[in-house]
Amino acid sequence: MTKYAMVVDLNRCQGCRGCTTACKVENNTVEGNFWMHVFRFEQGSFPDTEMSFLPRPCQHCDNAPCVKVCPVGARFKREDGLVLTDADRCIGCRYCELACPYGVNYFNWQDPEKAQYSVVDWKDSDLQPVTDGVVPPYKNPDLDELWGEEQRRTAGGGHAKGIMEKCTFCVQRVEKDLDPACVETCPTDALVFGDIDDPGTPISLYLRENRTWQLLEEAGTRPSVYYVGGTPPSSELKEIERPKATV
Amino acid sequence: MRRTGAIALIVMGVALLLAGYLLAAPWGASTVADSDPAVVGAPTLFIIGIVSLLSSALFYELLPDGR
Amino acid sequence: MSVETRVEQKLPQGVGRLTPGWLVFFAVSFVVFVIGIGAYSYQLSNGLIVTGMRSTGTMGGATWGLYVVMVEYFIGVSLAGVVLAAFVEVFNIGALRPVSRLAVLLTIASLSTGVLGVLLDLGSPFRGFVNMLLYVRPQSAFFGTFMLVAVGVLMTSLVYLYLGGRRDAATIAGTPSGLRWFHKLWAAGYRDTEPERERHRRVMFWLSIGLVPLVIVALSTEGLVFGIQVGRPGWYGSLQGPDFIVLAAASGLANLVVLTAIIRRAVGARIPLGHAVFKWLGSLLLAATAASLYFQTVKTFTLLYATPGNERLIADALLRGPYAWIFWSSLVLMVVAMILLVSQAATGAWSVPAVVAASVAISTAAVAERYLTVIPSQTHGMLLPYEPGSYFPTWVEFAVVGGLFALGAILIGGFVKVFPIINLNSNRREVRTDA
Amino acid sequence: MSEVFLGMPTITRRTLVKGSAAIVGTSVVASNFLFKSLDGVAIAQETTASGPVEDFVATTCWIGKQDCGMIARRIDGRVVKFDGNPTNPRNVGTLCPKGQGQIQAMYDPNRVKWPLVRTNEKGVSGEWRRATWDEALDLVAEKVNEVRARDPKMVLWQKGRSKAKDFYDDAFVKSTGISKLGHGAFCSDAGYRALEYTIGTHAVLHPDFRYCNYMLSWGWNITNAGGNKFCWLTWPRHMVKARDRGMKIAHLDPRLRSAGPFADTWLPIRPGTDLAMALALCHELIRQDYLDRPYLTKYTNAPFLIKADGTVARVTVGEGDEAEDVGLVWDEASGAAVPFGETDDPVLEGEFVLDGEKVKTAFQLFIEHVADATPEWAADITGLTAEQISSVASEFGRQAQIGSTLVVDGVEVPYRPVGIMAYHMAQQELGFQTARAMTMVPMLVGAIGAAGGQLSDFTWKIYKNYAKYEKLTVEDPPYDFLLNNSKFFPINTGSPAVVAGVMNDPERYGVEDLPEVAILHMVNPLNSFPSQPEYLRSYLKFKFVAVISPWLSETADYFADVVLPAATIEKYEGPISATDQYIDAVTLRIPPMEPLFESRGEIDIYMDLCERMGTLYGEEGYLAVVNKELKLDDTPFVLPLDSKPEVRHIFDQWAKSQGIDEGIEYFEDPQKGVYVKGPVSPNKIYGYVADPPFGGAMHRLYGESLLDAQQQMKAKGAEKIYWQDYTAFPTWRAPTMDASPAEYEFYLLSYHQIEHKQSRTSFIPILAELAPGAHLDINPEAAARLGISEGDSVRVESHNAVTGETRRLTTTATMLDSIRPDTVAMPHHFGMWTHPQNEAQGPSANEIYFTGEGYLANTGDQSFHVKVKVTKGGDA
């Protein structure tokens, strides 16, 4: 069996948000939606302060609260560990978002084209010959495809108003044996992705050689994301340099 | 007749409720199968079951007296 | 209009008689309803972006807002009516029999608005309707809302209303009027024979016996929607269900009191809605309010002792933070209502305005309580150190909620003009005299 | 194209699998129709008969400084994603947020789409008409040639940053003979000058991350910005690996944010006091005897005998043409002064009598120079504690393991696993001498060019300035408009701010001829350089300004007569070094698409411009310089000088000249893309084992020519503020800004955020989303005193301690505990206005910095320090 998981090595993470950007480009997510969010934290007061970073993808929990509450089975857990959202099934009740203690769900509050960094006119007529009018111009056709054995539209579905979406571990890349976009781009290799059922993969090695912890272990969600280094976030932390997340 | 019909509707209702429930997506959150009903539309059976149960009352009360 | 003039003198309780006051009431309700539809169409075409709701976490919003607050409120309100009617039936409480139809109607109206509210809140409402029929999962608490509340309770209430009104329908079906076809249809051949009465009593008894647990279970799932959430401080806990039910009972009775008072005033003193009814309702309200206040007090004390950490986030938000004014005002309203009711119970002097005042206070507090259940755990209950969020409804949400209230008003207001709202057979003599 | 309802394939498959009734499938299709019409949520999937065609192109990043290798994924020829190229040693398949985000920049319809000609007056926001390339190029060629005919130097070519190898820029400048200005004065150039002067390399300081165990991260913006030679990405890669090995980091910075969690020790030093800190470290290293005497005596001028007048005691060695003046050192054995090199063991410390005159070794003078620079003394100045300073020095000395060696790839190299990482540390008034003082810290322990020690450039190639600075010349006016060899800046970086000052008041600087035409290539002085008012006035004096840029810069908006649209990434450029310092590699930028709109690659633009100016062909022409710079001369791949080549052909020739048989196709191949030559030899990396050692440069601990320049400047009547920092050793003085009144209680710093690259990314929406706009970081303690809280609008007013001028801006306060309470800081990426994304981004700190006396280093480099007062309120 294949069981995908991710390691986030906080001893290496620079908090650069390259992962966030790669995710946004790969998955064409709209403004304000951060499937991969990177917290930047500060704690203490001068001169005894500390800073830390914390990338927060979907935790792809083995005991996923979002899956349990989904009324229509749009949110489901695959045997290989991925927790996905069927864009054809979702009714937009946002119950999964309430159930998730990590805050990883993002709803399409409006027509995605309008939310697609519309300060720039992607429909500009001089751009049309190159892009054929697609919005955004880097629109990834894979997102509209059906993926996995279950053949459901789980890669974001090209986004649609009124439905929920979240990090997919880049199912469209994983199915092609590629790393998720965030992992691929991470400048300091702080993100590791792979099959933890296979002892020979780099991630299995990483898990054997490092002490790990998980986000909100007490919530019993059994995440598929393992953190190395750093410390679990506490309420002492103050988030700084927040992205513009309002829509 | 009245009683039999009502009981039949109740039995059918309970059966449909059970069927609807059992054929709906099972409890569980670890497989793709957990997200799908065994039969698409199983919840509709459940609703028909409720309707059947309630119609037993209507049937029982509304069925005209035999002449 | 000739038809009106003809029926005016014949049908009881002003049925079929469109008074100026009622016309104004209905017109206003209709306008508010149409505004609600307009606002909703705007929401439908632009997406939920037009509401104040936003994603939790990085976006710092509440993903469930006023709609869900009102859904919780409406569904809560629905509890009391049909349960009261069932008790009246099972325990044969004669004093309350006059209002049992109104009670069931209140249930139907508030359930309809509540269930509609759920749909209005969906990002994809039409797909939501269809996919619920095709896929709804028992593990999700929404199964309870959809199957048990929306289908089970609502349909049972309709059957209850229908069967309970059959005798009255038969009574007035003899009166010639433009509505006679309707009353005849309702009566469906009822001739008030003893076997029929006996069958009716039997059906109503068993229906009531089945109904009460169904309603309790179904409505508890509304509390469970939040109670099963491990990921939200302030939500997880077995008390969410009972807490919901107790407040539901109080808010439902409060609404019933207000409605009864309105009907009494509108239809006139000739109907059997004396102080006895208000005494009963007031006493029941007192019991429900006391229980609710008890829950509320326990909750407040628990919050005061919240340890630093997750629950403290919510405690601070409620007791001292941005929600403090709502929290404390709702508590004050409950206490004021409690004082009003207790003082009347103690003296035995029940005054309609005082009971109504207490009811309005309780109903308002209930809305506030539902708000405090739904919203703060989203804006201030993130377990990861997101910045606290905020939520304030937009005009669209207010307009849509206004439309829901208007719909409820139209349902009830419309019903009283086509069917006697007060049980004719609860006190046959009076009714006959009246006729 | 046909539309297919979404649910259909799903349902069909499920129906088969689950065996449900077909009617259900039908109902779902029907319901999908409902959703589509009612909810508008059904997602239409567009399919073509053949399906989309996916392919990949190797290219390099364009947005930042170091040009990481990338693979562009294309769908039907449209780029949908850039990923890192795994074969590129520099980024090994990774990309930073800017690298990822630039895809939006490429498609940005707010780019300059076609040549623009101004239709309104200059000095205000521009109005434009669309022109053809022919018309625009003819116009530029005509205006430039008009001035060139009189004096080519009066044409000023200015560029922000040359991407890739700057051969095509150089070819333009050289073939036309015009003047050139870069961005260095606003960068680390004072540090470059200091290193060129001190050890001869054209670089600033970075440690040998491969072996370093203890690093002073001195103002290095570790998690946000680049460093010496590399962009951000490569340095952090090296750093995290070093930390995996156990390297410790002591971080000197008024802000902790720069290091994030990577500081093992944080020393929140007061801005502008680094020179004092460095002197105190030297003091402590000497006191604790952490000295590498063999290095100091063999490779530095420390043992030179210095006469009372500050000059080196010299003797002429050799005869005739061979004759040269050589410094004298004291030979203990013979008890006499001998020419350097004639004794293996010259005396390092001491005072001697030479020809009846007292002389001291340079090192003796240095010891005396830093004798008073105790940790306690520096503590007062730097705001640190004496213990902190002393312990850093001890750790640095202890970890240096003086005397040890390490075998690297079979070569035995002195091993001093300590070093300094400092990039823009020189951006202060005492910048040049600060960088020199900082270099002396690793010099004392012999870490320069050692394994694990202090590196600077990737090789030990000695830069031309090293020899030039042996003797500095100060001439009489008139000066050229760059003030070369002037009494103001005997060492002169060439600053656009100085040029602006000169243009505004030529008489004051003794300048007669001012430039008349400017060609501004991807440069935006009005926004990106401090002291906006200087540019607002001076750039109006140009009779003609041509701008080459993909976007309409603020400078273009106000001053351009013609704007020529340059392509972004979609063009050929190169060659581009792909080394990570330890592995040698080279690559090219390959256009992943045709240039968008009517934009063109710069090489095309310059060739066309030169053709019209008559400077393309011939022995002195553009193509001839290209041949020379790309080393195509004397190869079979030399470009003919009489025909204009395709740009792709130029690089094809270059690739073939490098022994790559496939030519440019090698670089276009996504499987290849990068030409990896293999590991760099330790003999190139480590100065001790270079041939000759350290490239043959004698390390100048003692700055004889600096002192000499001071004398010359005084003689020519230069003001003290210009000559005071021309001292033989770095000498502490309080920076001029400290004379501002006490109410200007804060030091203002501006800093770089990782999401942005200077001022050319803040309009990229996806990056602006992550780092949205300007704000003022302020310590909550200081803020509370001023009644300021998070999110408040604040007014920041700067004060020029020399002229008394004040400038102000309004921004939003952000509470940050990890900043000194006497320091406030702003990101420097904002303050632009030509792009719709710029709206509400807020101002740039550059608006309130000053330039000129007190705010320029003695090398003409810009200081990014100023004292400000902060008050609540102001117009938002």
Whole-number pLDDT of residue D595: 96
Structure tokens at D72: 């562009």
Angle, CA D154 vertex, CA D151 and CA D158 arms, to 5°? 140
Hey, are the CB atoms on C57 and A37 less than 8 Å from each other?
Answer: yes
Asked whether the predicted pLDDT for residue C274 surpasses 80, the reply is no
Residue C306's pLDDT band (cuts 50, 70, 90) = confident
Residues sharing a CB contact under 8 Å with residue C413, sequence separation 6 or more, in sequence order: C22, C25, C26, C29
Q: How far off is chain D from C40, nearest CA to CA, in Å?
A: 12
Asked whether the predicted pLDDT for residue D715 surpasses 60, the reply is yes
Residues in chain C with CB shorter than 8 Å from the CB of B36 are 135
Residue C270's pLDDT band (cuts 50, 70, 90) = low
| DSSP character at residue D300 | B
Higher pLDDT, D722 or D28: D722
Whole-number pLDDT of residue B66: 66
Whole-number pLDDT of residue D47: 45
D265 with D664: CB under 8 angstroms?
no
Hey, are the CB atoms on C203 and B57 less than 8 Å from each other?
Answer: yes
Residues in chain B with CB shorter than 8 Å from the CB of A150 are 32
Of B22-36, D504-518, D633-647, D857-871, the range with the lowest mean pLDDT is B22-36
Whole-number pLDDT of residue D48: 45
Whole-number pLDDT of residue D39: 52
Residues in chain D with CB shorter than 8 Å from the CB of B36 are 14, 18
Per-residue model confidence as pLDDT tens digits over A34-79 = 999 999 999 999 999 999 999 999 999 999 999 999 999 999 999 9
Whole-number pLDDT of residue C191: 86
- CB pairs < 8 Å spanning A and B: 36
Write the ipTM.
0.92
C391 with C27: CB under 8 angstroms?
no
**C296: contact with A, CB 8 A cutoff:** no
Higher pLDDT, C349 or D541: D541
pTM of the entire predicted model: 0.93
What is the full DSSP assignment across D688-755? Answer: GGSSSGGGGPPB-SS-HHHHHHHHHHHHTT--HHHHTT--SS------GGGGS-TT--EEEEEE--TT
Asked whether the predicted pLDDT for residue D46 surpasses 60, the reply is no
Whole-number pLDDT of residue C299: 85
Asked whether the predicted pLDDT for residue D427 surpasses 70, the reply is yes
Asked whether the predicted pLDDT for residue C7 surpasses 60, the reply is no
Residues in chain C with CB shorter than 8 Å from the CB of B41 are 133-134
| Across D430-455, average pLDDT | 98
Residue B16's pLDDT band (cuts 50, 70, 90) = very high
CA pair distance C29, C43, nearest whole angstrom:
21
Residue D22's pLDDT band (cuts 50, 70, 90) = very low
Q: Which of A45, A140, A146 sits opposite D817 (nearest CB)?
A: A45
What is the full DSSP assignment across D752-795? Answer: --TT--TTSSTTSHHHHHHS-S--EEE-HHHHHHTT--TT-EEE
D663 with D652: CB under 8 angstroms?
yes
Per-residue model confidence as pLDDT tens digits over D660-693 = 999 999 999 999 899 999 999 999 999 999 999 9
Per-residue model confidence as pLDDT tens digits over A168-216 = 999 999 999 999 999 999 999 999 999 999 999 999 999 999 999 999 9
Per-residue model confidence as pLDDT tens digits over D71-94 = 999 999 999 999 999 999 999 999
Residue of C40, C43, C56, C316 to mutate, testing the A interface (most A Cβ within 10 Å of its Cβ): C56
Per-residue model confidence as pLDDT tens digits over D318-332 = 888 888 899 999 999
Residue D515's pLDDT band (cuts 50, 70, 90) = very high
Hey, are the CB atoms on B32 and A64 less than 8 Å from each other?
Answer: no
Asked whether the predicted pLDDT for residue A158 surpasses 90, the reply is no
Whole-number pLDDT of residue C1: 38
C217 with C197: CB under 8 angstroms?
no
Q: How far off is chain C from B39, nearest CA to CA, in Å?
A: 9
Residue D21's pLDDT band (cuts 50, 70, 90) = very low
**D269: contact with A, CB 8 A cutoff:** no
Nearest to A82, CA basis, from A57, A99, A107? A57
| Across D106-133, average pLDDT | 97
Asked whether the predicted pLDDT for residue C43 surpasses 90, the reply is yes
Asked whether the predicted pLDDT for residue D794 surpasses 70, the reply is yes
Residue of A76, A90, A146, A149 to mutate, testing the B interface (most B Cβ within 10 Å of its Cβ): A76
For residue B41, the chain C residue with the least C-alpha distance is C134
Helix, coil or strand: residue D538: helix
**A243: contact with C, CB 8 A cutoff:** yes
Q: How far off is chain B from C185, nearest CA to CA, in Å?
A: 12
Chains touching chain B through at least 3 C-beta pairs below 8 angstroms are A, C, D
Q: For residue D306, give the H/E element and its range.
A: strand D305-306
Per-residue model confidence as pLDDT tens digits over C48-77 = 999 999 999 999 999 999 999 999 999 999
Structure tokens at A229: 């280094």
| Across D393-398, average pLDDT | 98
Asked whether the predicted pLDDT for residue D798 surpasses 80, the reply is yes
Chains touching chain D through at least 3 C-beta pairs below 8 angstroms are A, B, C
Per-residue model confidence as pLDDT tens digits over D632-651 = 999 999 999 999 999 999 99
- CB pairs < 8 Å spanning A and C: 173
CA pair distance B59, D710, nearest whole angstrom:
113
CA pair distance D374, D434, nearest whole angstrom:
17
Angle, CA D44 vertex, CA D38 and CA D48 arms, to 5°? 155
CA pair distance D177, D858, nearest whole angstrom:
28
Per-residue model confidence as pLDDT tens digits over C364-388 = 999 999 999 999 999 999 999 999 9
What residue ranges in chain A does DSSP mark as E strands? 4-9, 37-45, 48-56, 75-77, 83-85, 106-107, 164-165, 191-195, 212-213, 225-228, 238-239
CA–centroid distance for C251 within its chain: 7
Hey, are the CB atoms on C127 and D41 less than 8 Å from each other?
Answer: yes
| Across C173-194, average pLDDT | 89
